[in-house]
Structures are given as structure tokens and as C-alpha cells.
Amino acid sequence: MNAITFENISKYYPSTEVQASDNVSFSIRKGEIHAICGENGAGKSTLMNILFGLERMDSGRILINEEEVTLRNASDALAHGIGMVHQHFKLVPSFTVAESILLGTEEKPFISKKSEVEAVRELSEKYSLPIDPSALIDTLPVGMLQRVEILKMLIRNVEILILDEPTAVLTPNEVGPFLDTLRNLKERGKTIIFISHKLQEVLDASDRITVMRKGKFIGTKESKETNIYELADMMVGRKVLLSVDKKPSVPGETILSVENINVTSSSGLKILDNVSFSVRRGEIYGIAGVSGNGQEALIKAIAGEVQVRSGVIRISGKEVQNLSVEQKRKAGMAYVPEDRVHVGLNVEASLLDNSLLGYEDEKCFKKGMFLDEKKLRERAEKMISDYQIYGSSVDGLVSKLSGGNMQKVVLAREFEHVPDLLIVEQPVRGLDVGSIEFVHKAIIEERDKGTAVLLVSVELDEILSLSDRVGVMYSGSLAGELSGDEINETNIALLMVGKKGGVE
């Protein structure tokens, strides 16, 4: 029996002139884990938003349990047993976990804190998803926020759970337990739809996989009968190289040097403990490690968002540890932050504005006192075509772009620059296979142009395939440095768990 059937679903966005959904028909079986894959902007989120009642389709029919339904808003969808966890979480920062989970389900007008906490505790035990019901949303890490979102749907007794790129925000060691959660929910009879760009995990976790491209349905495969290469080809419509070719690096002089830096949290905890390393012109230095071992603080310290307690940071020989982000950019640093949507973009502004963000003062963009509109426009258009930013024009709002295309805007802007030092955090988060290939090539090209690249990634594969040298972080300090043939999975893995002897 089919839990959901899409019949000829079409949706056109006049504002961006995108046919986000083009006569899509396929179905999802009851009790299966069904993955949806496709390039950035393929229309995956749009289709799911239609199913959850957040967007209206122009034409087509949706059947739930073989019966046609009308879904005008989220309440309609919830009433039909459909729940959704969005690509960007929808939570109220000042609420507690219990309040967030129960929001909208309260039966009685008056709230009883105690019974709410109790209800959430029971729910979390029932599905073995432990969480502290009285923790504040503001203070929780992403993995927990996602758990809150899932519990929020489960308490509404949904039978069908949609997850839009749930693993994009998780660290690799959170992914395993998360996929177990999905299997566990499946065992309890729930139907799961999840979107992901990570083909390996899709193959591992799902029963069937549907591929979309440019708003169209391409095909549905049994997971057991397909493989990464076939899926990648279906998604992109051409052969994709899943590994990158690169020449050996020809390192030049030292660009970034970090000497004995220490960072402590405001509560006095040591976050970085005497970290030293350097990155030379023309090499990619990868920082690996289980997330939460100080990588964030290290990058923030170098980028200028966090004050170092002691130590020296030099860019091209110049001491920069006390300079602001802006001054460091002037010194030749470009920075692609991890949280690109909030830190790297102004989503309420146009693509053109965002393509310049932070570089407005640069001489080459100016004509006298004013910005050189024509030049900037051409530059933005070039970025759109080079980086295949799909779904908007130069003047379109960034908020209308699909998740992956938003990422590309930041990457395009920072890469455009041929900086001396390029810092990239999790560069391919949320990108489709085609774009990953592209971004990886772009990073290597930057290197070959003579940029010193500092790459931070929790994806081991990415570190392995790009880095010329690797530093592994463990509990606030550099557990070891690898180069050349030493760079392999075993060595990195050993250092990641703090085994110093790994290299020998």
C-alpha cells in the first residue's frame, strides 16, 4: 500500500521564474524509508513543502493512503498525519525544550509545566531519544535541536515524517545514531521521507531512492539495486567524478603562522591549548577532528571573531591577532564561515548586494566615490554562471534561493578574490554531488594560484582528498600533523581520538 502518491504535481514561482516542480509523479510505500536526491534547486524542498501544506501546487493531486487530500496549511498536513522537520529549524529561541515540543498541541487553556515536562520525558523515553525537557533552545547544539524537531512531530502522532536534509547539520559521528533513529521509527511503522546529498548514507539508510532534476522526476530505485555512481549520474545528467585530481603541491613562503595560541571561554575553560601550525602559499592545510574539539574556536580566533588570550597569529608576516575581521580581510584573508546563511549572507538583500558583501571598500569596484554598478553587475552575473547558482537573477533576493544555492553565493564571493589566505569551513555542506566536484576543483585552483588554504571539515573524505597537510585537533590542542603518505584514514582516526602515537 502507498502512504503517499504524487500525481502530476507542478509548481511555478513567478518571482524567480523557476518551474520548481514539473509534472512530478511517484509514490511512497507505507512503512518505508524513502530518500529523495537531486541537485541544489532541483525542487526537493518545494515538493516537500507542498506535501506539508506550506506551498500550494499549481496543479496535480496528492493521495494519502490512497485517498485524495487538500493540504492548505501545516495544520491540514498534521491532521493527515504528516510531519516535517525543515532544512532550517523552526524553533523559538527563548522556549524550553518541552515548550517547543508541545507548542500548538496544548489541549487545556492553562499550562501545567510539570505535566508538560513529564509528557516530554515519556515521549523521549518511548522513542529512545534522550533530551532534557527544561533546557533552553538557545543553548542547545544543532544535533539536539534536530531531536527537538523530531519529537515535536512525534508527539503529534504523525505517521509520515519528512526530513529535509537532516544530516547536513550533523557531524559524522552524530549521523550513525541519527540513521538508527530513522530505522527505529520505521520499525514502529512510521513512513519516512528524507532528503540528502550524501549518497552513501542514502544507500545505507533507505529502502528506495527517488531522484529529481530541475523540477522533474527522474526515477525511483530500490536502494539494494543501485550504487553511488548511478545515482550521481541520474542527478546531474552526466558522469560525475567522485574524487578529485590534483597535482602535488608546490608550497612557497609561509602565509599563515599560528604560534602558541590559547583561548579560554568566559567561564574560564580552556578551549585552545597552545596551538601552533603554519600554512604556506600553494598548499591546502586540512584541519580534521571530531567536532567540538576546538576547531570552531581555532578558526574564529584566526578569523578575528574570538579574542586569543596569548600567542601570535601572523598573516604574511604581519601580526594580526588583535585586528578586527575587517582589518584581517584587508591583510589578505578570505573566510567562508560554517554558518553561511546567518554569518555569510544577508538573505533579505539581492544577489548583487551579497556578491559584494564585505568588499564594498575595494578600489576596483568603485568609480569615484560610488560603486561601479555596471562592473559589479557583470561580476555578479559571471559568478552566477561560473558557480551555476540556479534559481535567481542578479537582483533576486537570496532568501528565495534553495539551500545549496545560498551556499554557492558565499563560496563564489570569497573565491572570486584570490586572497593570500583562504579559510573554508565545511565547504560542501548542503551541496549536491555536482557542486561538490565543482567546489573541490575551485579550492584546488585557488591553491594552484598561490593561495594558502586552510580547510576545516568534519568529513574525513574531504580532508583526505584535498589536503596536502593535515592537522588533527583533539580536546583543544593539535594532536598531530600529517603530510604526504602519512595522510590516511587510519592515522587521522587514531589522532582524532587522542592517540598521539598514531603516526609512528
Partner 1 sequence: MNIFDIITINVLQSAIRLATPIILAALGAALCNKAGVLNLGIDGFITMSAFVAIVSTYLIRNFTAIGMMHPVLATFLGVLITALFGGLLGLIYAFLKDRFNVDLVVLSIATNMLALEITVYIMRAVFHQSGTWSDSSIVQLPSIELPLISSIPVLGDLLSGYNIIVYLSWIFAVLLIVLMKKTKWGRYITAVGENRDAAVSVGISVTKVRYFALILSGVLSGLAGAFLSVGHLTLFTRDMSAGRGWLGNAAALFGFNNPGGAFAAGLFFGFADALALRLQNVTKIPSYIIQVMPYVLTIVILSIVSYKALRDRRKRKAA
Ligand X SMILES: Nc1ncnc2c1ncn2[C@@H]1O[C@H](COP(=O)(O)OP(=O)(O)OP(=O)(O)O)[C@@H](O)[C@H]1O
Contact 431, 406 (CB under 8 A): no
Q: According to the binding rule CB under 5 A, does residue 167 interact with Mg ion?
A: no
73 interacts with, out of partner 1, Mg ion, ligand X, none, CB within 5 to 8 A per kind = partner 1
Task: For residue 387, give the nearest of 345, 434, 339 by alpha carbon.
Answer: 434
Rounded to whole angstroms, the Cα distance separating 374 from 362 reads 15
Q: According to the binding rule CB under 6 A, does residue 46 interact with ligand X?
A: yes
- C-beta closer to Mg ion: residue 286 or 403: 403
Burial of 161 (0-12, 13-18, 19+ CB in 10 A): buried
Burial 332-365 (b: 16+ CB within 10 A, else e): bbbbbbbebbeebbeeeebbbbbbbbebeeeeeb
Place of cell 579559510: 423
Q: According to the binding rule CB under 6 A, does residue 216 interact with ligand X?
A: no
Q: According to the binding rule CB under 5 A, does residue 41 interact with Mg ion?
A: no
Binders of ligand X among residues 405 to 434 (CB under 6 A) are 405
How many angstroms separate the Cα of 247 from the Cα of each of 244, 370, 427, 467, 484?
10, 42, 20, 11, 12
191 interacts with, out of partner 1, Mg ion, ligand X, none, CB within 5 to 8 A per kind = none
Place of cell 527544561: 134
Choices 102-110, 142-150, 259-267, 385-393; region in contact with ligand X by CB under 6 A? 385-393
- Number of chain positions touching ligand X (CB under 6 A): 22
Q: Which residues contact 351 (CB under 8 A, 6 or more apart)?
A: 380, 384, 389, 392, 393, 394, 395, 396, 397, 398, 401, 409
3-state secondary structure of 421: strand
Choices 145-153, 304-312, 395-403, 434-442; region in contact with Mg ion by CB under 5 A? 395-403
CB of 401 to Mg ion, least distance (A): 10
Q: According to the binding rule CB under 5 A, does residue 215 interact with Mg ion?
A: no
Q: Which helix (H) or strand (E) holds 409?
A: helix 403-415
- C-beta closer to partner 1: residue 112 or 200: 112
Residue number closest to Mg ion, CB atom: 45
- C-beta closer to partner 1: residue 82 or 240: 82
Residues that bind partner 1 in the complex, under the rule CB under 8 A = 54, 73-75, 78, 84, 86, 90-95, 99-100, 103-106, 108-111, 136, 138-139, 152, 265-267
Q: Which residues contact 461 (CB under 8 A, 6 or more apart)?
A: none
3-state secondary structure of 323: coil
Q: Which residues contact 442 (CB under 8 A, 6 or more apart)?
A: 411, 415
Q: According to the binding rule CB under 6 A, does residue 38 interact with ligand X?
A: yes
Q: What is the largest distance, in Å, between two alpha-carbon atoms of the chain?
A: 69
405 interacts with, out of Mg ion, partner 1, ligand X, none, CB within 5 to 8 A per kind = ligand X
Which amino acid does the sequence have at 465? S
Q: According to the binding rule CB under 5 A, does residue 45 interact with Mg ion?
A: yes
Helices (H), 188-294: 199-205, 228-236
Chosen residue from 3, 4, 32, 43 binding ligand X by CB under 6 A: 43
CB of 7 to Mg ion, least distance (A): 22
391 interacts with, out of ligand X, partner 1, Mg ion, none, CB within 5 to 8 A per kind = ligand X
Binders of ligand X among residues 14 to 33 (CB under 6 A) are 15-16, 18, 20
3-state secondary structure of 88: coil
306 interacts with, out of ligand X, Mg ion, partner 1, none, CB within 5 to 8 A per kind = none
Choices 103-111, 256-264, 314-322, 396-404; region in contact with Mg ion by CB under 5 A? 396-404
CB neighbourhood size of 266 (10 A): 5
How many angstroms separate the Cα of 80 from the Cα of each of 11, 28, 70, 187?
22, 15, 10, 20
Burial of 449 (0-12, 13-18, 19+ CB in 10 A): exposed
- C-beta closer to ligand X: residue 203 or 323: 203
- C-beta closer to partner 1: residue 69 or 74: 74
Rounded to whole angstroms, the Cα distance separating 126 from 141 reads 22
16 interacts with, out of ligand X, Mg ion, partner 1, none, CB within 5 to 8 A per kind = ligand X
Q: According to the binding rule CB under 6 A, does residue 329 interact with ligand X?
A: no
Contact 10, 23 (CB under 8 A): yes
Chosen residue from 390, 415, 438, 474 binding ligand X by CB under 6 A: 390
CB neighbourhood size of 431 (10 A): 24
Chosen residue from 32, 37, 45, 479 binding ligand X by CB under 6 A: 45
Q: According to the binding rule CB under 6 A, does residue 13 interact with ligand X?
A: yes
CB of 194 to Mg ion, least distance (A): 12
Q: According to the binding rule CB under 5 A, does residue 403 interact with Mg ion?
A: yes
Q: According to the binding rule CB under 6 A, does residue 452 interact with ligand X?
A: no
111 interacts with, out of partner 1, Mg ion, ligand X, none, CB within 5 to 8 A per kind = partner 1
- C-beta closer to ligand X: residue 389 or 453: 389
- C-beta closer to Mg ion: residue 142 or 464: 142
78 interacts with, out of ligand X, Mg ion, partner 1, none, CB within 5 to 8 A per kind = partner 1
Choices 27-35, 37-45, 105-113, 300-308; region in contact with Mg ion by CB under 5 A? 37-45
CB of 56 to ligand X, least distance (A): 11
List of residues contacting ligand X (CB under 6 A): 13, 15-16, 18, 20, 38, 40-46, 390-392, 400-405
